[in-house]
């Protein structure tokens, strides 16, 4: 029997796409191998959000080419994910080791790509169809207690720095009933924490009924077997009062909300085409916190966007100190192909952008530490992921606010267990916990 291996780079959407690809490969009669160099079929499920994505792919393809010349494997190499969509046939022409290219909107056509390869053809299958196939029943979910379910694919926002609308296509929401059925099936199969996915998950609109994201969350919250529901990523401009109330009123929704603000200067936000001002963002945060007391907010920030001045950057720092995020993901602006910002004047020197990124983290770190220390003495329910590190005696899980909790010396614990722990210590990036009397829970 032939074997496969998939290398996954990038975001949760890619993790889920890998599970879809895996399901299709298994249906095609393949079984997993330990690494790409030992597999008959190797797939690279790539990400193009950051710079040098193509170079990284070419370098990995070069390694696989070497492995094939030395040992004959992998005989088939497929390029999937966002770099596949971005480069398409260009990479096929450039890299002789590549057997096929398959864009993220064409995952369902993996069997067709493999058939073409078997017939001696090299194919590039990219682009987006108006209606997407979504083969939920074929997803190879493994036995993880943490599972993803797609609510909406693609993005229509065209933020001027972002490649996603080009690599993942236009927005396409799945019917609400289909999503709820999938959540039911995933929960029945052992999924405890289910995360609804979308680049702009709260832009969700059921194509059949017009139900919005608040309605979807409410419906998913009724799936009793799903222990906890999370969702990512929310766009500030799609929240409505009604949606916030529905999220706040839905049982089992985690106390975690990822809400990228990207920049604190209105001039920069406008050039980014984000669709909100700094004042609107801060107001929204207040509204969310009033409806969901105790919610932990995380965010994304870009520094060094073309034309960003020191004064603009200081406004970003002001938002960071005003909002007090539980987690912050900071990035240096990275010029991406086809995006409008590529042609914007006012390129910020890499050294200056790097220095701003450091200052951003310096501003965030004490806030994060303070917020984490304030949790000492509290009890939280965590979902266990596994050992904190290979060979470590500590176990790691996450609470409802997505914070990592490490628990020392815990005999008999297993992945997927739910446990009550008391927080006993904190760093800026994780918490330390002790099992509460009574031992692990469900
Ligand atoms: S909302 Fe903006 S940043 Fe997010 S995926 Fe869409 S275009 Fe990219």
| Mutational pocket test of ligand 1: of 10, 86, 156, 165, the residue with most ligand atoms within 8 Å of the beta carbon | 165
Locus of tokens 């470590």: 392
Locus of tokens 């992945």: 415
Q: Which two tokens stand for residue 309?
A: 């001045």
CB of 164 sitting under 6 A from ligand 1:
yes
CB of 158 sitting under 6 A from ligand 1:
yes
Q: Do residue 251 and residue 343 come from a single domain?
A: yes
CATH number at residue 85: 3.40.50.12160
Query: Which pLDDT band holds residue 442 (cuts at 50, 70, 90)?
Result: very low
Provide the pLDDT for residue 411: 74
pLDDT in tens, 73-109: 999 999 999 999 999 999 999 999 999 999 999 999 9
Q: Ligand 1 centroid to 168 CA: how many Å?
A: 10
Provide the pLDDT for residue 439: 53
| Mutational pocket test of ligand 1: of 152, 198, 199, the residue with most ligand atoms within 8 Å of the beta carbon | 199
**Residue 436 pLDDT exceeds 90:** no
For the chain, what is the domain count? 3
Domain range spanning residue 426? Answer: 379-435
Q: Do residue 44 and residue 88 come from a single domain?
A: yes
Residue 347: C-alpha distances to residues 49, 329, 342, 344 (Å): 18, 22, 9, 8
CB of 235 sitting under 6 A from ligand 1:
yes
Q: What percent of the chain has pLDDT over 90?
A: 86
Locus of tokens 């696989």: 64
Q: Do residue 208 and residue 334 come from a single domain?
A: yes
CATH number at residue 325: 3.80.30.20
pLDDT in tens, 118-138: 999 999 999 988 777 778 888
Q: Do residue 400 and residue 321 come from a single domain?
A: no
For residue 440, tell me if it sits in a domain: no
CB of 157 sitting under 6 A from ligand 1:
yes
Could you tell me the sign of the dihedral formed by the alpha carbons of 231, 339, 285, 316, in that order? positive
| Mean pLDDT computed over 198-223 | 97
Q: Do residue 121 and residue 142 come from a single domain?
A: no
Q: Ligand 1 centroid to 13 CA: how many Å?
A: 13
Report the C-alpha gap between 326 and 341 in whole angstroms. 29
CB of 360 sitting under 6 A from ligand 1:
no
pLDDT in tens, 269-291: 999 999 999 999 999 999 999 99
For residue 441, tell me if it sits in a domain: no
Q: Which of residues 355, 373, 391 is at a domain's end?
A: 373
Picking from 100, 21, 10, 102, the residue whose alpha carbon sits closest to that of residue 56 is 10
Query: Which pLDDT band holds residue 438 (cuts at 50, 70, 90)?
Result: low
Report the C-alpha gap between 174 and 176 in whole angstroms. 6
Residue having the nearest C-alpha atom to atom 2 of ligand 1: 159
CB of 197 sitting under 6 A from ligand 1:
no
Q: Do residue 328 and residue 386 come from a single domain?
A: no
3-state secondary structure the chain: CCEEEEEECCCHHHHHHHHHHHHHHHHCCCEECCCHHHCCEEEEEECCCCCCHHHHHHHHHHHHHHHHHHHCCCCEEEEEHHHHHHHCHHHHHHCCCCCEEECHHHHHHHHHHHHHHHCCCCEEECCCCCCCCCCHHHCCCCCCCEEEEECEECCCCCCCCCCHHHHCCCCEECCHHHHHHHHHHHHHCCCCEEEEECCCHHHCECCCCCCEHHHHHHHHHCCCCCCEEEEECCCHHHCCHHHHHHHHCCCCECCEEECCCECCCHHHHHHHCCCCCHHHHHHHHHHHHHHCCCCEEEEEEEECCCCCCHHHHHHHHHHHHHHCCCEEEEEECCCCCCCHHHHCCCCCCHHHHHHHHHHHHHHHHHHHHHHHHCCCCCEEEEEEEEECCCCCCCEEEECCCCCEEEECCCCCCCCCCEEEEEEEEECCCCEEEEECCCCCCC
Using the atom order of ligand 1, give the atom closest to the CA of residue 274: 2
Q: Do residue 265 and residue 402 come from a single domain?
A: no
Q: If you average pLDDT over every residue of the chain, what do you get?
A: 94
CB of 199 sitting under 6 A from ligand 1:
yes
Picking from 153, 149, 215, 210, the residue whose alpha carbon sits closest to that of residue 178 is 149
CB of 301 sitting under 6 A from ligand 1:
no
Q: Ligand 1 centroid to 164 CA: how many Å?
A: 6
Q: Ligand 1 centroid to 117 CA: how many Å?
A: 34
Q: Do residue 345 and residue 406 come from a single domain?
A: no
Q: Do residue 257 and residue 352 come from a single domain?
A: yes
| Mean pLDDT computed over 368-392 | 91
For residue 130, tell me if it sits in a domain: no
Q: Do residue 174 and residue 304 come from a single domain?
A: yes
CB of 316 sitting under 6 A from ligand 1:
no
The whole-model pTM stands at 0.94
Q: Ligand 1 centroid to 274 CA: how many Å?
A: 8
């Amino acid at each position: 029997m032939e074997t496969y291996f998939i290398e996954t780079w990038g975001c949760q959407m890619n993790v889920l796409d890998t599970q879809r690809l895996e399901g299709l490969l298994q249906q095609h009669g393949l079984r997993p191998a330990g690494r790409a160099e030992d597999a008959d079929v190797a797939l690279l499920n790539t990400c193009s959000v950051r710079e040098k994505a193509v170079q990284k792919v070419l370098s990995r393809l070069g390694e696989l080419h070497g492995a094939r010349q030395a040992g004959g494997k992998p005989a088939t190499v497929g390029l999937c994910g966002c770099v596949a969509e971005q480069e398409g046939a260009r990479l096929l022409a450039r890299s002789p080791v590549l057997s096929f290219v398959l864009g993220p909107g064409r995952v369902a056509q993996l069997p067709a790509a493999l058939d073409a390869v078997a017939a001696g053809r090299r194919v590039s299958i990219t682009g987006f169809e108006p209606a997407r196939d979504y083969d939920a029943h074929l997803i190879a979910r493994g036995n993880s207690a943490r599972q993803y379910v797609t609510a909406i694919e693609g993005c229509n926002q065209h933020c001027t720095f972002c490649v996603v609308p080009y690599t993942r296509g236009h927005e396409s929401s799945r019917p609400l009933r289909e999503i709820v059925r999938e959540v039911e099936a995933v929960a029945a199969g052992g999924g405890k924490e289910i995360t609804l996915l979308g680049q702009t998950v709260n832009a969700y609109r059921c194509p059949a009924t017009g139900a919005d994201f608040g309605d979807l969350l409410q419906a998913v919250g009724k799936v009793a077997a799903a222990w906890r529901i999370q969702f990512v990523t929310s766009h500030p401009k799609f929240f409505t009062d009604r949606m916030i109330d529905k999220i706040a009123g839905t049982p089992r929704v985690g106390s975690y909300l990822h809400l990228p603000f990207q920049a604190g200067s209105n001039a920069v936000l406008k050039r980014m085409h984000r669709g909100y001002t700094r004042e609107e963002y801060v107001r929204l945060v207040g509204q969310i916190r009033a409806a969901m007391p105790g919610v932990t907010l995380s965010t994304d920030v870009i520094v060094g966007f073309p034309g960003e001045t020191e004064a603009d950057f200081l406004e970003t720092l002001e938002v960071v100190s005003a909002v007090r995020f539980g987690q912050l993901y900071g990035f240096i602006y990275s010029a991406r192909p086809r995006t409008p910002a590529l042609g914007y004047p006012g390129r910020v020197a890499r050294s200056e952008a790097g220095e701003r990124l450091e200052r951003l983290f310096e501003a965030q770190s004490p806030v994060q530490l303070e917020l984490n220390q304030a949790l000492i003495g509290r009890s939280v329910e965590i979902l266990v992921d596994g050992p904190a590190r290979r060979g470590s005696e500590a176990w790691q899980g996450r609470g409802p606010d997505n914070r990592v909790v490490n628990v020392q010396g815990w005999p008999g614990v297993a992945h997927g267990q739910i446990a009550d722990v008391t927080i006993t210590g904190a760093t800026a990036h994780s918490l330390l916990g002790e099992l509460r009397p009574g031992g692990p829970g469900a």
